[in-house]
Amino acid sequence: MGRDGRAGPVASLRASDVMSDATTSATDGWLDRGGGSEGAPERWVLTITWSLDEPERVGEACPLAPDGVERIFGRGDSTPEETIERIVFGRLRPGGARDARLVAGKGISRDQLRVVSRRGAVHVRRTGRCALRVNGVAAQAAELVHGDVLTLQDQLVLLVTWRPALRRASDLDVPDLGEPDADGMVGESAAMWKLRERVGFVARSDRHVLVLGESGVGKELVARAVHTRSSRASNELVARNAATFPPGLIDAELFGNVDGYPNPGMSARPGVIGQSHLSTLFLDEIGEMASSLQAHLLRVLDGGEYHRLGEARARSADIRLVAGTNRDASELKHDLLGRLPLRVHVPPLRDRLEDVPLLTRHLLRQAAQATPALARFFSGDTALASAHPRIAPELIERLLRHSYPLNVRELDTILWAALGSSERRYVELTSEVEELLDGEGEPPDERVRREPTEAEITAALAAHENNRTRAAAQLGVSRYALYRLLRKHGIS
C-alpha cells in the first residue's frame, strides 16, 4: 500500500511460520518462575515497531494467550456495552509487563482488528477503517506466525514473534524503553535481556571468556560490558584484532620486546600482555589465528608468566582474556578452548527482529549527531539524543523482513543508503535501499538449500526432546526455516 492510502488486491492469507502457545493482556505478569531459560514458557507477542502518533511507544509489546478467545485491537478504552477484552501494550521486561495502556492513534478505529491467538498462529480480521497489510500484501484477514509484519496504513506497524518468558533478574540495568543501557546495548527482545543477564554473570567472575557470535553482532561491545562491570574496570580495556598479528611477529605483538630486538633499531614495546596487566585483554577474531599461534597464549593464561623478546628474566602479568570469534568454538585449539571456561553467545539480529526499529532509531541519532545536516529527519524541538526520527512505515516493514547476514553492521549500511537517497523530510524506502534488502525473512542460502524431509524433521525433534533450537541446528536450518517446515508438514 502506498502513502496515498490506496490498497492493492484484497487477500485473506496465511503468512510465515512458527508454532505453539501464547498470552493474555500485557497487564499479566509474564515471567519464568522456574529461574531457567531452557524449557521456559513461550508465547506469541505483538510488538509496536512504528507509530505515527505515539513514536515513543516503539518497543512496547503485548503477550497473547493461546486460549482461542477473541479480543479487540483498537483506539481508546472499552465502552460499557463491550464484553470483549481489549489489547493493551506495555514494557515487557524481566519480572513481567509494566505501564500497560491502550493505543491512541487517531487514525485507528475503536474496533480496528479482531484478534484470536491459538496454538500455532495468531488470527487477525480487519473490522475498522484503517487498511491492513501483512508482509506488504493487502489483506482483510490473516493467519500470522513468527516474523510476520502487520501494518495499519500510515498508522502503526506491528511485529509478531514467538518468544520465551523473561527471567526475573533484579540486578539488570533497566534503561528507558528502547534506549541504550549503561553498556551501550540496545534492545527489548528476550534475546537481549538474556544476553544482559549472561554478561552480568560473567563479569562477576575473573575467569577467561570466549565471546561467540557472527560478524557484526557486537562482540567488542559485549567484551567492553564484561570489562566495565568487572573488578578490573578502573583500568583501560586493551582491544586488538588477533587476525592482524603478523605470523612472524606474534611474540613481539603479544609479549613485547626489549630495545633493539629482534631487529636493530626496533623500539622497546610492552606488548598487549604487558599493556593489559591488571586489566582485560580483548582479542577479537581469535579463530583466525593458526592453532600453532594460539599455543603462544597458553602459558600466560595459566599463570601469567611470559618473556619479552630479548629478555632473559620472566615477567608476570595479571590479565583477564576475553576472546571473540565468529567461528564455532570447536575450531579453536583445544588447549586454548579449555582455558576459556566462560562463554557468551551474542545473538544474530535475525533472532531479535523486534530490536531492529530500536537499533534503527539509535543508529539514525548517531548519524545525525555526527552529521548535522541529517537533523532534517528529526523534529526540531527535541535534542537529537532523545528525538524520534521521521521514518516511512514502509521502510520499517521491509527492515523487519530482511535477513541481516552481516547483522547490525549491515543495518547501519542500509540506513546510510536510505539517508543518502531520501529526498523528503523523512527516511524513505528508496530504490537504493530496495537493492540492499531481500524481504524474504531468510538468508538466501536457506531458500536454495535442500529442505529436510518430514521424516528427518520428526527424527530431529525426537532426538532433542522437541527442542526446536537444537533440532534446527541438527538439520542445518535456522529456527525460522524450521517453523515454516513444521507448518508446511503439519507437525505439532
| pLDDT averaged over every residue in the chain | 85
In eight-state DSSP terms, residue 147 is: T
Q: Which of 252-256, 317-321, 462-466 has the lowest mean pLDDT?
A: 462-466
Spatial CB neighbours of 363, under 8 Å, sequence gap ≥ 6 = 411, 412, 415
Q: What percent of the chain has pLDDT over 70?
A: 87
Q: What share of the chain is helix, strand, coil (3-state, %, to 5)?
A: 30, 20, 45
Measured CA to CA, the distance from residue 29 to residue 49 in angstroms comes to: 22
Measured CA to CA, the distance from residue 127 to residue 149 in angstroms comes to: 18
Check residue 189 and give its pLDDT: 95
Check residue 19 and give its pLDDT: 26
Q: Which residues pair with 47 in a beta bridge?
A: 61, 159
Please write down the HEC assignment for all residues of 377-407. HECCCCCCCCCCECECHHHHHHHCCCCCCCH
Q: Which of 183-192, 264-273, 412-421 has the lowest mean pLDDT?
A: 264-273
Query: Can you tell me which residue has the cell 484470536?
Result: 116
Per-residue confidence at 71, pLDDT binned at 50, 70, 90?
Answer: very high
Per-residue model confidence as pLDDT tens digits over 156-205: 999 999 888 777 665 666 788 999 999 999 999 999 999 999 999 999 99
Per-residue confidence at 29, pLDDT binned at 50, 70, 90?
Answer: very low
Contact indicator for 451, 409 with CB cutoff of 8 Å: no
